[in-house]
């Protein structure tokens, strides 16, 4: 049995790596404190809040743990050591994550010590299935490997737009993949889940946009793989990313945070809500964030629902909407919905079921084509007026066929087609495709995105890129292409993939 108050306190400090700095002598601490030990009473109440969430540290000393304590056994072997920040002003214990160390594999500690590391928000350790999931950012990866160090700098907006649109975005896909035939799919490390992916995507979106985290008024997290049946992902995202104005005395964030669920369109559905909020006439918000993140679950092959096991991926995408420094303005939207249960998961069931009867024609194609056509009609556009097209990607064949049916050519839909790299990332699927397009689109290009969510419905949007899309690219090292073609990608076998997906 865990203790909820202890979990809350450890996560409150540990997720963000909060600390304090003395305004007089500059001494820094991990974990917040009320006064400086050297300066004493004059510093009481004057300590400056700091945190190491966006910082780069150095792995000073380390060793390999091969016989972890009980709650860490599912990690297998891992590197554990001392990490310093700010030239050794602060030192913390830490575990290296995203690293598979076989029981027969030796680790050259000399080659690891002294390297730069980035803190990563992850699950802390195993707990009972009914307990609160503990998290922490005392997990680290090397700054020069798969996940690059990117500083978070708040940029003052320079331009206001007439229509709302995308201000910044972030995509997070894990370092591990399973490769079967021509298809690669992203696999979470054992300490990752939909919550950690949502936080990562949101973090990268903040870095890319340069938006002040305090100015985000609402965050939506769409997912169908929240490890909790009840308890939002969005509240964790808001707390870790410090979204909205922080009310320090109570430890609350001045933001509305909510989870949404509609299979794979749980996130795209909220794009219009987010855009409406930032131009709401009476009391507009500066920014709203929408995240789609999934650790898509599938029954083992051969079992009912096991056919999904060939396609499920892991990852997420986050979009920040606003009226200032927009990189892609919205032109219009259209959604359609019908009661078509083609994919579902009953409460308490571990894996979703897939109704073969509805899949394809009466579900996926019907809704996507309807939404796409209707939006073009609405805005009086032909496929040739649109530069890029992206739709939901449950497998490589469906989106290509849907695009062709709508009249799009491969050069229009290929840039957004990412399923053969990452698998079906569910709520993150079409948003990751959209991000891939934004990564490369020139200004003044028209992009259409059509999502699909089982159950069933589609959301279609049209965006036009602005001049500002180019100036923000320097803050986006972690592009979709970078994650798809990274030399640090590690391929795992089927058994490892199943184990990692199941998690701690």
Catalytic site residues? 224, 264, 392
Integer Cα distance of 172 and 119 in angstroms = 15
Q: Which does 22 bind (CB under 5 to 8 A by kind): Zn ion, another protein, none?
A: Zn ion
Going from the C-alpha of 214 to that of each of 2, 137, 247, 253, 288, the distances in angstroms are 32, 21, 11, 9, 11
- Binding marks (x or -) toward another protein, 16..55, rule CB under 8 A? -------------xxx------------------------
Q: Among 309, 177, 316, which Cα is nearest to 259's?
A: 316
CB distance 227 to 133 below 8 Å: yes
Between 27 and 378, CB nearer to another protein: 27
Q: Which is nearer to another protein, 80 or 321 (CB)?
A: 80
Site string for Zn ion, 37-66 (x = CB under 5 A): -xx---------------------------
Q: What number of CA atoms fall less than 13 Å from residue 101's CA on the CB side?
A: 21
String marking each residue 469-498 x if it binds another protein according to CB under 8 A: ------------------------------
Instruction: Pick between residue 6 and residue 44 the one whose CB is nearest to Zn ion.
Output: 44
Which is closer to another protein, CB of 3 or CB of 384? 3
DSSP 190: T
Which position among 16, 18, 120, 125 is part of the footprint of another protein (CB under 8 A)?
125
Measured distance CA(295)–CA(159) in Å, rounded:
37
Interaction between residue 75 and another protein (CB under 8 A): yes
Is the CB of residue 136 less than 8 Å from the CB of residue 180? no
Residue 138 interacting partner from Zn ion, another protein, none (CB closer than 5 to 8 Å by kind): another protein
Question: Does 87 help bind another protein (rule: CB under 8 A)?
Answer: no
Q: Specify the stretch interacting with Zn ion by CB under 5 A; choose among 21-29, 57-65, 281-289, 332-340.
A: 21-29
> Is cis: bond before 310, omega within 30 of 0?
no
Considering the complex, state which of residue 87 and residue 106 has its C-beta at the smaller distance from another protein: 106
- Which of 10, 13, 27, 336: binder of Zn ion (CB under 5 A)? 27
Work out which of 36, 58, 90, 406 binds another protein, going by CB under 8 A: 90
Residue 36 binds which one of another protein, Zn ion, none, with CB within 5 to 8 A depending on kind?
Zn ion
Residue 25 · residue 39 · CB < 8 Å: yes
Cβ distance 302 to 187 under 8 Å? Answer: no
Joined together, the tokens standing for residue 114 give 């002294």
| Contact indicator for 152, 478 with CB cutoff of 8 Å | no
Task: Quickly count: other Cβ atoms within 10 Å of residue 240's Cβ.
Answer: 24
Q: In this complex, which beta carbon is closest to another protein, that of residue 47 or of residue 447?
A: 47
Give, as one character, the DSSP assignment of residue 345.
-
**Residue 103 binds another protein, judged by CB under 8 A:** yes
Interacting residue with another protein among 18, 50, 81, 222 (CB under 8 A): 81
How far apart, in whole angstroms, are the C-alpha atoms of residue 109 and residue 417? 41
Binding status of residue 85 toward another protein by CB under 8 A: no
Select from 10, 132, 143, 492 the one that contacts another protein (CB under 8 A).
Answer: 10
Query: Which of 73-81, 406-414, 426-434, 472-480 is the region at the interface with another protein (rule: CB under 8 A)?
Result: 73-81
Minimum gap (Å) between residue 22 Cβ and Zn ion: 3
Whole-angstrom Cα distance, residue 125 to residue 396? 35
Binding segment for another protein (CB under 8 A), chosen from 62-70, 208-216, 321-329, 375-383, is 62-70
How far is residue 500's CA from residue 504's CA, in Å, rounded to a whole number? 8
Coil, strand, or helix at residue 74?
helix
Interface with another protein in residues 393-422 (CB under 8 A) = none
The CB-of-36 to another protein minimum distance in angstroms stands at: 14
Of 22, 233, 327, 484, the one binding Zn ion by CB under 5 A: 22
In whole angstroms, how far apart are CA 89 and each of 45, 113, 252, 420? 21, 17, 29, 45
In this structure, is the dihedral angle defined by the CA atoms of residues 305, 310, 315 and 320, taken in order, positive or negative? negative
DSSP state of 361: I
Burial 52-73 (b: 16+ CB within 10 A, else e): bbbbbbbbbebebbeebeeebe
State which residue, 88 or 304, has the beta carbon closest to another protein.
88
Instruction: Say which residues have a Cβ less than 8 Å from residue 229's Cβ, sequence separation at least 6.
Output: 347, 348
Rounded to 10 degrees, what is the CA torsion of 384, 436, 196, 154? -100
User: What does DSSP assign to residue 381?
Assistant: -
The residue within the footprint of another protein, chosen from 1, 41, 45, 70 (CB under 8 A), is: 70
Q: Cβ closer to Zn ion: 19 or 232?
A: 19
Tell how strand 78-85 and strand 57-65 pair up: antiparallel
Q: Which C-beta is closer to another protein: that of 35 or that of 344?
A: 35
Give the nearest distance from C-beta 177 to another protein in angstroms. Answer: 25
Find the shortest distance in angstroms from Cβ 499 to another protein: 18
- Contact set with Zn ion (CB under 5 A): 22, 24-25, 27, 36, 38-39
- Contact set with another protein (CB under 8 A): 10, 14, 29-31, 60-72, 75, 78, 80-83, 90-95, 103-106, 109, 113, 124-125, 134, 136, 138-139
């Amino acid at each position: 049995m865990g203790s909820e108050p202890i979990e809350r306190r450890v996560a409150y400090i540990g997720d963000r790596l909060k600390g304090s700095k003395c305004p007089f002598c500059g001494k820094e601490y991990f974990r917040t404190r009320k006064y400086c030990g050297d300066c004493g009473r004059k510093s009481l109440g004057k300590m400056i809040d700091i945190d190491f969430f966006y910082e780069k540290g150095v792995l000073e000393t380390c060793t390999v743990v091969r016989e972890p304590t009980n709650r860490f056994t599912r990690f297998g072997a891992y590197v554990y050591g001392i990490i310093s920040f700010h030239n050794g002003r602060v030192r913390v214990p830490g575990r290296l994550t995203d690293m598979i160390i076989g029981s027969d594999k030796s680790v050259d500690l000399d080659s690891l010590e002294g390297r730069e590391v980035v803190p990563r928000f992850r699950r802390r350790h195993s707990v009972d299935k009914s307990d609160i999931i503990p998290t922490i950012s005392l997990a680290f990866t090397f700054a020069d490997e798969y996940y690059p160090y990117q500083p978070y700098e708040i940029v003052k907006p320079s331009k206001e737009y007439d229509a709302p649109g995308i201000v910044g975005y972030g995509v997070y896909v894990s370092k591990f993949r399973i490769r079967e035939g021509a298809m690669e799919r992203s696999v979470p490390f054992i300490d990752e889940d939909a919550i950690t992916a949502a936080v990562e995507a949101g973090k990268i979106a903040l870095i890319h946009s340069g938006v002040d985290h305090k100015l985000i008024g609402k965050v939506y997290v769409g997912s169908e793989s929240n490890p909790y049946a009840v308890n939002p992902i969005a509240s964790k995202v808001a707390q870790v990313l410090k979204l909205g104005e922080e009310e320090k005395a109570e430890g609350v964030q001045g933001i509305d945070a909510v989870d949404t669920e509609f299979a794979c369109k749980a996130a795209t559905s909220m794009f219009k809500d987010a855009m409406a909020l930032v131009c709401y006439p009476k009391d507009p918000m500066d920014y709203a964030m929408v995240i789609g993140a999934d650790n898509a679950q599938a029954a083992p092959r051969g079992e009912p629902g096991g056919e999904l096991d060939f396609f499920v991926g892991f990852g997420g995408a986050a979009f920040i909407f606003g009226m200032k420094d927009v990189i892609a303005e919205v032109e219009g939207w259209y959604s359609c919905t019908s009661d078509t249960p083609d994919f579902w998961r009953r409460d308490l069931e571990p894996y979703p079921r897939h109704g073969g009867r509805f899949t394809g024609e009466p579900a996926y194609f019907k809704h996507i084509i309807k939404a796409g056509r209707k939006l073009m009609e609405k805005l009086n556009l032909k496929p040739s007026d649109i530069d890029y097209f992206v739709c939901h990607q449950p497998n490589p064949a469906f989106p290509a066929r849907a695009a062709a049916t709508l009249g799009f050519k491969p050069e229009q839909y290929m840039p957004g087609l990412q399923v053969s790299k990452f698998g079906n990332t569910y709520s993150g699927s079409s948003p990751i495709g959209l991000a891939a397009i934004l990564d490369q689109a020139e200004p003044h290009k028209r992009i259409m995105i059509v999502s699909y969510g089982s159950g069933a419905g589609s959301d279609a949007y049209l965006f036009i890129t602005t001049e500002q899309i180019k100036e923000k690219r320097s803050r986006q090292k972690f592009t979709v292409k970078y994650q798809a073609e990274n030399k640090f990608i590690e391929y795992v076998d089927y058994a490892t993939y199943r184990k990692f997906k199941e998690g701690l």
